[in-house]
Each structure stands twice: as C-alpha cells, then as structure tokens.
Structure 1
C-alpha cells in the first residue's frame, strides 16, 4: 500500500501536477449538450451491480455496511434520510448509494470515450450526505469526495478537486459539484475516478446521481450592428435582414473556429453553407428564424457536437398581422351605469380601443374590456404588446344608453295620527316596486317612516323615488285654568296648535283674555287639519284684588260666572282661618266689612262650592 502511494506521488511530481489539488468549479463559459450521462437507471429492484473494475466496494441488495454499495431507488437504511433520486422525471429512479469503507480511497472509476482532443470539458455529479443532523451522537464523519480525471493510460492526472466536508444537515436537497479539465493533443478518452477522502465509521454515507460530461467553451454573444440581442418585426414590414457578429469572451478558448446555423423552432438546427466567419449577413427573413454559431478552439472540432459549444441565440421574430378582434356583442345599459365592451384576439396580442374605425383617438390600451358610460360606437384593434403590429381593420362595438324613467323629486309629507295617506308614484306606463312589497301606482299607508318606489320603464331602466312621512299627533290637553278674566290652555305635546272657544274662530295663542265667566267648550287643533280635541271648562272670574274705598270702582269682591250654577255657596276667611263671610247664590259678593266694621288691607282666602265643583284661592283687599 505504501509503495503504490509512493509511486503515485512520484508520478504526480514528475508530471508537474502537484498544483492540481484544487477546489471544484463549473465551466465559466457556455456548455454544450451532455456527451455522457450516468443516471443509474430506475426500478424497484436493487442493482444491477456496476461493471467489473468500476469499484472495489462490495455490491449488496440489502443494507449496505461499511465498504458496501447498492444501486437503489430507496435509502431507507439505518437512520439515513429517505430521499428520491436526483434525475428529473424519474419514476422509482435509482442512485449510487455508498457506505464508505473504513479506509479512505477510491470507490468509483470508469472510462469516458468519444471525447475530442484539445477540448475543455466540464465533469459534474450530484451528491448528498445521507446522515441526518446529530447522528453518531453529534460526531458523524462528514462526506468528502475527490474527483479526478486521468488520461486513458491512467498515468497522467489531468485535473482533480475536492468537495470539501459535506456535513449531515438533515436536508434532502441534492447539491451539484463540477470539475473542468482539458484533453491533450491526440487524446479522445479519459478515466473518471472518485475517491473518499475520509475514513469510514459512523457517518461518511452518501448517494451519487446524474454524472455528466459536457464540452466547455467561451461565453459567446451574438448581436447585430445596432447592438441588438434579438429582433421582433411585423410581417407587413417585408423581409428584414441583419449583419450578425460573434463576440467570444476568451474565458476558455484562445482561438475560435465558427459554423453558423439557423432554425425555425430552436430544436432542429441546420448549418448555413459557407458561413464560417465571425459575421453573418442574414437573408431577408419573412418568418421567424433563429441564428446561432457553433464554436470550437480547433477547426477540426467545430462540426463535432461532442467537442463544440454553441453561442447565444439571435432571434428574428416575425409576428403575423393579427386578425381583427372578435366582439362579445353590443351592449345596452341604462343612463348612469357603466357598460363593459369586450373583444378578444389571438394569444400574445392585446386589444386597443379607439373612437374611430381608422385613425382617431386611443381610448384604452392593452385591455380586452372597455368600461364606459357614454353612448356610441367604439373600435377594437388587435396589436402586439412588443411592437406596432396591428390588425388591418378594427371591430366596431356599440354601446346604447337608455334613458331612466322621469320621476318627480322626493317628497316629504305627513300623516295624521290614527289616519292614513295615499302615496303616488306619479309615473305612468311603468312597473312599480314599493319598499312595502306593493306593485301598484298608489299605496295607502298608516304609519310614519321612509318609503320608496322603484319604477322600471319598458327598456328595463329603473329609478327610485323616496317619500319621507312624518306623523302629526293630535293635541293632548294637559290642563285649562282661569287666571282672572283670562283662560289659559296647556298641552302635553307640542305642535302647531290653534285654540278656540267656539270651534269657529281659532287663534295661535293658548291664552284667551277678558273672557266673561261661564261654561265653555275649549277647542284645540293642529293647523294641518289633522283633527280637533275639545274639553268643557267652567270659567269663574275671581278678582285678584278689590278696593272698597267708596269710589264706586271695584268696591266689591264678586266672582263672575256663578250664575250658571244651580247652587252656590261662598266662604271668605282671613289669614288665620276665621270665617268672615258666608253667602250663597243670592249673596255671593263681599264689601270688605265684618259685622259692620271695615277690615284692614290684607290677603283673604275663599272657598266656592258651585254644584259639585270647588274653587279655592286668595285675593287682596286694598284701601
């Protein structure tokens, strides 16, 4: 074992390749199509074993122990992660599952043939650490793989690089690693080797999938003289042509050989005879055509797809003139609404709206729906979103705006308490829908509130009218009282009330002045003629004072109005409650004396009993 390692060290040193212990990396330029692929197949049965000489590890169809491998669609061994293979679209896809040996060393090699001499390649593979986080009591050995590319004699190491430590993270995400190398003159095959840099034990368990070889070359840009990277034109512009120029970045190649190609679908490419320079004058293009250039470092390899790379593609997209849009139909709306006019066109085209069949003003761009409320005919045009490539004609779509029913203004009105009123929609030759559910022109209501009616004309257009109905309450008399010769009427509720003593002549003032004593009927009504309430009242005019001084003016205290009663008694008391006067219907006045003596100025109290009614109060005697 020592002698073999010593010999390899000597070989590496003699070949001047000790600097090849480098990190992995991807092609810095353009890659060609894969020229070699190993995806390890698919199926539910483990295997088959790799060809003899590919690995020194033992093949197993069971659980792989240290130094074992399997080819399987499952990784459900030990406490390993359960993963799917990397190959996109695989059903039960398999991968190369390795339980590393206790001793670091090579575990995979195979020869890759059919390469081109003096050509740079990218080798890549997808790897994943199968150990979950925290395995091996946190001491899991990380995966660390070295990729090597040897010449076909297995004596000259062309390139190598290490993945570095790939710890167990518990993630089922595959990661890709790559190595770039270059074949030598006359060399058409290489040997790929994978080595395990870590000793086995608890950890260092991995899966490998999708081993690829691709040619690697410069990033190659193709542009026109106007620095265009692509071109979009309308077919009515006629044939267009461009002079295309190749610009490599010299990241890989030091020299360049070219072959121009063209395609109509970017799948099938054909060489353009004689076009091997770094420029191409395209023919007049009348339908979509794609151009690219194959490139190699050596002219002998330019037409070998195992050796060349391809440039970016220069697109000349020729858009066909679209057909006129298809209308979804004319639209009818009612005044005050917005109508939506709709037109459709082919995919990748949009709709522009105009106010004229040709020319005119652009109303709305890039929208198949035009929302508008103004009657008229509008015109839809198909056009490209990229360039001006419009339909030859426009499609007319008409918006008709029907008038609303003419209705009177909203109404504020009133309803008398315990009565009804009739609401009138006041529009003929329409249908009616009241907020009460009624469908007639007229409705009777008995309650205050807000009411509405929606009227709809023969065009199906509707308008609403509102009625605000307030209730007028009847007056409610609280009390009626005499204040000297005046009668005062008070109500419980408020309103525009009018008052009367005869039911004919009404006044707004609730006080009747200078009214002769007697029996009266008091009338109270609202001035809206919602009804009248009445109440009978005995009006007794009792002086507030009298002046018995012999001047024949107000010399006697004598209530007015007692004559309407059948039986009357009157008692007068001083402030101490002493009865100083008692009289009846025939003697209901007092002259201010007691037993012939003039009484002093003071307040005196009276009690009048008239039939079944009592009147109490006080008055003043003044001298």
Structure 2
C-alpha cells in the first residue's frame, strides 16, 4: 500500500528554524571519475563521456557541447558532482538511505541541480530536464513526500538551482529512502548534474517574549534584583504540537536544562547578573533530549547595565557676556548627557547634549550621564560653573555732517573706565573728524571688548549749474540734489528754485542746504524784454522798462512804430518809455524794438495797451 502525505506534495523549504545538517552528500573530491555505491542507481557508470542511460561522478562536465563547470560545493578543490545523461525511458536514476533520523520529526531535504545543456544546444530545441524527488519510509512502502521540478530549460550561462522538500517521519521511524526520477526521456538534452544533497531537521521559528513583549532586556544595577515571566511563541510554520525544555546560560554558549521547566511559560527567579534563556522545542516529547530531533528558540538576554561614570568636565568658564561658548563635558559614544540646575532633582534644562549654553546667566549647572543601553543614570552629576563678565554696551550709528565742517563722534559706552582705540589711531572717548567714511572704535573694560561702528555721511553743499531768465522769472539749477533752499536777497529763502515776476536787474543768487550754514552765491544779471505795457497810471506796467540794461558794457535801444518811425533811442544808459512821443500819448498798437547789447542784436515787438 502506498500512502502520500498531502501536505508534502510540493517542492519547498523549511520556513522555520533549520538545524545543522544530519546528512550531506558532496560526492567527494578528486580528478578521477568514480562510481556510486552499489544499489544507488540503475544507470551504467562510465569514466568518459556518458551517453543516454549512463552516468559518471566527475570534477568537470566537459562532455559534448555541455557547460564546462566545476561542482557546486563551496571551497572545493577538484570537487566531484553526479552527472546524469537521461535514459530513453523515464524512471528512477538515484536512491540512497538516510539513517539517524528521529521519529515524529519534520525534516528538510535539499539538493542543487543544473541543466548542463546550454539554451543553444540541439539547435535550441534541447529536451529540458524534469526531476521528481521522493521520500519513502525505510520499508519502501509509504511515500512521505514528493515534488516535481517541472521542465527546466537550458540557460545562456551555467545556473545552479536548489530544490527542496519538507517531510515528517512516522512514529518509530529513524530512516528514510531518497529517490530521484527522470520525468522525461533521453535524447538530445535532458542532461543534468547534481551536488550537495543535504538533510536537516526543521522546526518552527520560536521567539521568547517577556510580559512587555521584549525579546531582550537591559536592567540597570539599581533596579536589581529583576524577575519576569517569559513565554515561548512558536510561529506554527512546521509543528502542529509543541513540547518545551527551558535552558539557561551565563555566556550564551554552554546551556543547561532548568529542572522541571517544560511549560510554554517560565517565571525567572530574582536575577542579579547577566543571563541567557532559550527553550528547546520538539513535536514529540521523546525528541526533546536528542539534539538531532529538536530545535532551539531565539535567545532571550537579560543584560545588567552598570551605572555610567559621571560626565568628564571640560572646565568651568569665565567669559564675556557676549561670548556664546557653551559649557561642555565628554562621555563615551554610548552615553548621553542631560543638564540640570541642581545636583539632585531640579529642573531639566537640556536633554541629549554634551554642551549647554545658559543664555548669559551665570551660575552652576549639572551634567548627568545616561547609558543608551538600559537608560541607566550616573550616581552623581558633574558640576560646571560659568561666570559672565560685563561687556561694554555700544550702539552703532549713522551720522551726517555738513561739507567743509567737522563733527565730533563718541564711543558712548556705559562703562566710565573703558579704554578706546579708534581706527584712526586715537584713544579718547570722542574724536573730531572732517571726512565721511566708516569709523570704528574698540571699547574695552580690560577683559571684554566690543567694537562700535559709525558710518559718517557728508551733506554736500549745492553746486550751482546755471541761473537763467525765463521771461520775468529767474530759474536756478544745481548739479547735485539735496534739501536745498534758494534766495535772491540773502534773507528770504524758499524751497522752490524759481523766482517769479522778478524785475530785471543785477542780483546775487543764494543757495544753501537746509541743515547746513554754508551759503553758495553767484551774481546774475536778470534782463528781459517785456511783451506789453499799460500806461494807465495804475502803478502796474505803466512803462516799457528794460531794467538792468545799464549793467552791460555797451547798449543801444531804438523804438519804432509800425511804419518805421523812430520814437525813442538811448545809448549806454538805462531805458524806460512811457508810451508818448513829443509829449503826446500814442495809441494802443504793436511797436518794434532794435536792442544791441555788447554787440548782440535783439529785434521784436511789444504791445502798448490803453
């Protein structure tokens, strides 16, 4: 009767914890081809090229147009592998018995395999390899597990692949038979190599957790003794039932059973030293004492952490109040530092920093060490003192002064005993300067020094570009700009640069900056020719007057009516006409003038209105 275990019907590997190899077949080493032990295969052994239905155990595969490769076993020298050229009839080509197993125990079988025929072999249509793995009981009547690789086609380059099966032994069963069969027939292709056949025990992944779900714990010495309840947590990936044996170790290497502790939970005694715990797990209680039949859990570690040394002070500080140098301490890389305002208790000022800046507040501050492992605190705190010295107080300034004057600038500090060094070389609290620019003064109280900066800006005097007459208006133009004031009498200043309705004549034009005393002057002869006059004795424009003409070197004025008759003429003298001719007032009309001033002739006409 043949029985197939349904859960083992597919290829696969142990998803839990695998033990050390119980059986390994690497096919040995050597440059001479050797045969398998009798009964291992029904194929025929050859020492040279294996044909269909033949095999060899060789350290190379340089046959036909196959890949020429070494075996799979790592670090082998002349390592051998089993080379199979499939028979024309599908069927078994390898079997071996595995002894030393445990009953009711899960195992993982695995083997590495390669298709020796490149993908271009046989014109690109080579027969793929296709292998079935079977695990039978020692009577060869009960099939425990099987799995098929499916068709494995040739590849461009050599490619070893691992295949495996998970199975469980039966009660009282300590050996099994491994069989390998070709699912396909021989011909051009179906050529393979096998290596590194391994059997391992297979168990659940089991972790150990305490009541806080920790898988390890770090305990500060001050918190000893420590006790907790541990629980073994399997993932049920392999075992359906679990039996336990708790163990302890002082070094994580040599383990000892804890008498009577065979439950899933374990309450530790009060602990005062480092200790390791694990639990042995099996599916059957009879297998707990056999290391080939059980598996061990992950390790739970209880680590005792001593208090760290107090931080090492990098020194007290006596510094100026504007110095941002912090207090600092030194600790190992696995230690963090917290700062307090008292040697015990107090207020937490800063966490996780080896430096602390008290923001200019003198006093004593305390650094406490904490281990990153276990968060254990130092037994004492390190006191560090900082004293802030008074710093001279100064304020930078931007000042203005008038051109062609001097200005006195001051350090203006709060310390009467301070010393001063200006960038001009002077050492008094104040200096008098005449040039614009940047001035600095270093102010010191003997220990602390600050620098004051004064930017001195010059208020420029106006520079007169031109003065011109616009009709009877006088317009003053400057080259530069500023808050300028203008006058033509030296008394009445205005911000407007135009003087309106000014009688002709010789004037002095005055221009000054509003905030400065210096006045810039220029003489200007204001001369214009009126466009009309109204001789009606009302006191306004009663005459045609050429005011200021008398200030020119030479002048000549002639007045004509529209018919060219000369009505009035003067030479090198002031000119004023009241609109009469030989004592008689002339009528409203336009009249013409010819004016010659210093050789320059002006002609035109004006209106007499009555």
Same fold (TM over 0.5): yes
Query: Partners of 1:374 and 1:205 in 2: how far apart?
Result: 84
Q: What corresponds to 1:115 in structure 2?
A: 101
Give how far 1:147 is off.
2.1
After TM superposition, the structure 1 stretch with the greater mean CA deviation from structure 2, 47-56 or 71-80, is: 71-80
Partner of residue 548, structure 2: 561
CA contact (8 A) 1:570 1:582 kept: yes
1:474 aligns with 2:462: yes
Aligned to 1:23, the other structure's residue is in SS state: coil
- Cα 1:562–1:357 change in 2 (3 A) is same
Structure 2 CA distance for partners of 1:286 and 1:578, relative to 1, 3 Å: farther
Report what 1:382 is aligned to. 369
> Which string of whole-angstrom CA distances, capped at 9 and with x for unpartnered residues, describes residues 376-431 of structure 1?
544332334575522211233456656665222331436749x9989877777467
Aligned partners of 2:109 and 2:198 also within 8 Å? yes
1:152 to 1:346, Cα distance in 2 relative to 1, 3 A = farther
Please list the CA deviations of residues 107-158 of structure 1 after superposition, one character each: whole Å capped at 9, or x if unmatched.
Answer: 5544433323443322234556677888877756544332223445666544
Matches within 5 A, 1:241-260: 241-244=227-230, 258-260=244-246
Give the distance between the partners of 1:129 and 1:440, measured in 2 at CA: 96
Which of 503, 509, 520 is matched with 1:522 structurally?
Answer: 509
Change (3 A) 1:462 1:36: farther
Kept after mapping to 1: 8 A contact 2:101/2:293: yes
Distance 1:358 1:296, change over 3 A: same
Gap regions ≥5 residues in structure 2? none
Match of 1:592 in 2: 579
Q: Which residue, 589, 595, 600 being the options, matches 1:608?
A: 595
Match of 2:169 in 1: 183
The answer to whether the aligner puts 1:285 opposite 2:271 as a matched pair is yes
One of 309, 314, 322 as aligned partner of 2:308: 322
Classify 1:522/1:373 alpha carbon distance in 2 versus 1 (closer, same or farther; 3 Å): same
Q: 1:101 aligns with which of 67, 81, 86?
A: 86
1:408 aligns with 2:395: yes
Does the 8 Å CA contact 2:206/2:232 hold for their aligned counterparts?
A: yes
Q: Distance in 1 between matches of 2:433 and 2:82?
A: 91
Q: Would you say the 8 A contact 1:287–1:318 is kept in 2?
A: yes
Alpha-carbon deviation of 1:25?
3.1
Q: Would the alpha carbon gap of residues 365 and 620 (structure 1) be closer, same or farther in structure 2, given more than 3 Å must change?
A: same
Matched, 1:270 2:251: no
CA contact (8 A) 1:61 1:70 kept: no
1:358 lines up with 2:344 in the alignment: yes
> After the TM superposition, which residues 162-311 of structure 1 pair with which residues of structure 2 at under 5 Å, given as runs?
162-166=148-152, 176-199=162-185, 210-218=196-204, 220=206, 222=208, 230-244=216-230, 258-273=244-259, 275-276=261-262, 280-311=266-297
Alignment partner for residue 33 of structure 1, among 6, 20, 25? 20
SS of the equivalent of 1:305 reads coil
- The one-character-per-residue Cα deviations of 1:465-498 (angstroms, maximum 9, x if unpaired) are 36274663632333332755x6543445543323
Q: Equivalent residue for 1:4? A: none
Relative distance call for 1:621 and 1:133 in structure 2 (3 A) is farther
In structure 2, distance between residues paired with 1:353 and 1:222 = 37
Secondary structure of the equivalent of 2:9? strand
Q: Say which SS state the counterpart of residue 344 (structure 2) adopts.
A: coil
Q: Is the 8 A contact 1:341 1:399 kept in 2?
A: yes
Q: Is the 8 A contact 1:352 1:381 kept in 2?
A: yes
Give the CA deviation at 1:180. 2.1
Given that residues 147 and 162 in structure 1 are in contact (C-alpha distance below 8 angstroms), is that contact kept between their aligned partners in structure 2? yes
The answer to whether the 8 Å contact 1:81/1:170 transfers is no
In the superposition, the TM-score normalised over structure 2's length comes to 0.75
Give me the whole-angstrom Cα distance separating, in 2, the residues matched to 1:187 and 1:67.
34
In 2, Cα distance between the equivalents of 1:551 and 1:254?
A: 134
Which residue is equivalent to 2:453? Answer: 465
Alpha-carbon distance between aligned partners in 2 of 1:618 and 1:16, rounded to the nearest angstrom: 141
Contact 1:402 1:461 in 2 (8 A): no
Shift of 1:179: 1.6
- What does 1:126-141 correspond to in 2, within 5 Å? 126=112, 139=125, 141=127
CA distance in 2, matches of 1:49, 1:530: 121
Between stretches 184-193 and 332-341, larger displacement belongs to 332-341
* Unaligned 5+ runs, structure 1: 1-13
User: Cα distance, 1:359 vs. partner?
Assistant: 1.1
1:145 to 105, 108, 131: 131
d(CA) in 2 for partners of 1:183 and 1:510? 117
Asked if structure 2 preserves the Cα contact closer than 8 Å seen for 1:374 and 1:399, the reply is: no
For residues 257 and 587 of structure 1, the distance between their equivalents in structure 2, rounded to whole angstroms, comes to 140
Of residues 559, 571, 592, the one that matches 1:572 is 559
Given that 2:51 and 2:85 are in contact with CA atoms closer than 8 Å, whether structure 1 keeps it comes out as no
CA distance in 1, matches of 2:65, 2:163: 26
Mean Cα deviation higher: 611-620 or 472-481: 611-620
Task: Note closer, same or farther for the CA distance 1:116–1:590 as it changes in structure 2 (3 Å cut).
Answer: closer
- For 2:356 and 2:564, the matched residues in 1 are separated by 98
- Relative distance call for 1:447 and 1:173 in structure 2 (3 A) is farther
Residue-pair matches, total: 597
> Given that residues 263 and 269 in structure 1 are in contact (C-alpha distance below 8 angstroms), is that contact kept between their aligned partners in structure 2?
yes
Alignment match, 2:9: 22
The CA distance in 1 between the partners of 2:27 and 2:450, in whole Å, is 74
State whether structure 2 residue 140 is matched by structure 1 residue 159: no
Q: Provide closer, same or farther for how the CA distance between residues 608 and 453 of structure 1 changes in structure 2, counting only shifts above 3 A.
A: same
1:507 aligns with 2:493: yes
